[in-house]
Structure 1
Amino acid sequence: MSSCAWAACLRPLPSFTLGPFQELLLEFESAMQRREQELQLRANDMSKVVLTHELKVKLLNKELQALREAGAQATERLQKAETEQVELERKLRGHAQELQDLEAVKDARIKELEGKLHSAQLARRRAEDSCRRK
Structure 2
Amino acid sequence: MRQKFIELGEGYTDIYELVELGRQMPERIEQALAFYCEKNGQPSASLAFIMKPTSEQKFQPIYICREGIPNPHEKQNKRFTMFKETAEEAGKSVVEFTVKPSSTFPETELYFNYLIGILRTNKILRPLS
In the superposition, the TM-score normalised over structure 2's length comes to: 0.16
Greater relative contact order (Cα 8 A, min sep 6): structure 1 or 2?
2
In the superposition, the TM-score normalised over structure 1's length comes to: 0.15
